[in-house]
Amino acid sequence: MTRRGLLAAVAGLALALGGCGRAPVRDARTGRPLVPIVLQTDWFAQAEHGGYYQALVKGYYRDAGLDVRIAQAGPLVPINLKLATDRVQFMITRGDDIITYIARDIPIVIVGAQMQHDLQAVLVHRDSPVRTFRDLDGRSVMTVPGANWIKYLRAGLNIRVNVTPLDFGMARFMADPNFIQQCFLTNEPYFAELHGQPTRVLLFSDAGYDFYRVLAANVDWVKDHPDATRAFIRASERGWQDYMNGDRSAADAMILRANPQMKREYIEYAVAAMRKYRLVEGDPAKGEALGLLSRRRLQDQINLLRKLGALDHSVTINDIADLRFSGSN
């Protein structure tokens, strides 16, 4: 099946999973129609999406002339195909994934940085002898077979690891003090320590596999709605600034309603981790800032994925990112 055929085949599924076909909404104060937008997250509602919920509950999107709905994801939800078929207009996900999708001719584009550094990491027990990525050499790690970060360890750092297929659980880690697995630093460490297992993490970015967590958009929608795209990004950045530094109680309450499995203590842990590792706002001393996309870093990311053989064909910065809407350097 061709890529075009694949997109057409999943369009029906994407429609069933939610889209933007809802009745027009008008601003209650001005009567003007609001631009409908669906933001697709990468998982169920959580603190890692907090800035968008803050912008929603504080009315920043409405003030910008937008009627925004946040669509949650979950296991097996094809979020990239929902975006490519214009069932959602924006989504958040890993930057390396987006670059590889674009190199497969999927019509999406990066329009901003949700986080300056991705939150993926390696999880070990606190007493583990593994202190650096170099210490992983010859050990087993539970991760996704064929993962690009594993290829990077081998090709870029000459570190050889044995891959145990990721089962998205914590049982083996909890039972074995020598077990090592891939994690999100805002997630699995919390649940391990909640059950009495102190942990440490090694961020992928510290090993040099350093990608943004990005805000991506449908290419055609951006072309047709540049002003709404800019307004959405500005309101989202305002939401993140406020969520990380202001009163986030209303946004947290919205997250808890949207995801009944979420706990307030988990939200607190995740926010503290995002602050500790400067994931959202970055390190100003390194030229990083909320929402900023660096041309140098984007080029480095393309070069790295090309070196790893992860790209179907060559792409440029202009292919993968539209830098009109977010700050760039």
pLDDT digits (tens, 9 = 90+) for 236-281: 999 999 999 999 999 999 999 999 999 999 999 999 999 999 999 9
pLDDT per residue as tens digits for the range 115-129: 999 999 999 999 999
Closest CA to 209 of 130, 128, 292, 136: 136
> Is residue 124 within 8 Å of residue 146, measured between CB atoms?
no
Instruction: Establish how many alpha carbons lie within 13 A of residue 108's alpha carbon, considering only the half-sphere containing its beta carbon.
Output: 32
Report strand pairing: 162-165 vs 108-115.
Answer: unpaired
| Domain termination site, one of 181, 207, 233 | 207
* In a shared domain, residues 287 and 238: yes
- Give the pLDDT band of residue 1 (cuts 50, 70, 90): very low
Assigned domain for 328 exists: no
Asked if residue 258 and residue 129 are part of one domain, the reply reads no
Radius of gyration of the chain (CA): 20
| Residues 8, 113 within the same domain | yes
In a domain, 224, yes or no: yes
Per-residue pLDDT at 111: 97
Nearest Cα neighbor of 217 from 17, 5, 20 is 20
pTM higher than 0.95 for the full model? no
Decide if 64 is inside a domain.
yes
For residue 292, give its domain range: 3-117+211-320
In-domain check, residue 33: yes
Q: Is the pLDDT of residue 2 over 50?
A: no
Of 207, 231, 261, which residue is a domain's last? 207
pLDDT for residue 14 is more than 50: no
CATH number at residue 142: 3.40.190.10
Structural domain total, the chain: 2
Q: Say if residue 86 is in the same domain as residue 172.
A: no
Q: Which of 207, 227, 249 is the last residue of a domain?
A: 207
Are 163 and 302 in a shared domain?
no
What is the rounded distance in angstroms from the CA atom of residue 171 to the CA atom of residue 148? 25
Whether residue 24 is contained in a domain is answered as yes
**pLDDT tops 60 at residue 19:** no
Tens digit of each residue's pLDDT (9 = 90 or more) over 22-68: 567 877 777 789 999 999 999 999 999 999 999 999 999 999 999 99
Q: How confident is the model at residue 7 (pLDDT cuts 50, 70, 90)?
A: very low
**244 and 301 housed in the same domain:** yes
In a shared domain, residues 199 and 232: no
Whether the per-residue pLDDT at 226 is higher than 70: the answer is: yes
Name the strand (E) or helix (H) holding 202.
strand 199-203
Indicate whether 206 pLDDT > 60.
Answer: yes
Give the pLDDT confidence score for residue 10 in this predicted structure. 39
Give me the pLDDT at residue 22, please.
Answer: 59
End-to-end Cα, the chain, rounded Å: 40
22 and 50 co-located in one domain: yes
Torsion over CA: 171, 175, 180, 185 (sign): positive
Asked whether the predicted pLDDT for residue 233 surpasses 90, the reply is yes
Asked if 196 and 174 count as a contact pair (C-beta separation under 8 A), the reply is no
Note whether 252 and 184 are same-domain residues: no
With a pLDDT cut of 90, the percent of the chain lying above it is 84
**Is 325 inside any structural domain?**
no
The single residue listed with the structure tokens 């087993």 is 140
Regarding whether 63 and 33 lie in a shared domain, the answer is yes
CB atoms within 10 A of CB 28: 7
43 plus 10 within the same structural domain: yes
Instruction: Flag whether 327 is in a domain.
Output: no
**What tokens does 17 get?**
């999973």
Average pLDDT of the chain is: 91
Which percentage of the chain shows pLDDT scores above 70?
Answer: 91
Looking at the structure, tell me whether residues 153 and 254 fall in a common domain.
no
Please indicate, yes or no, if residue 130 is contained in any of the structural domains.
yes
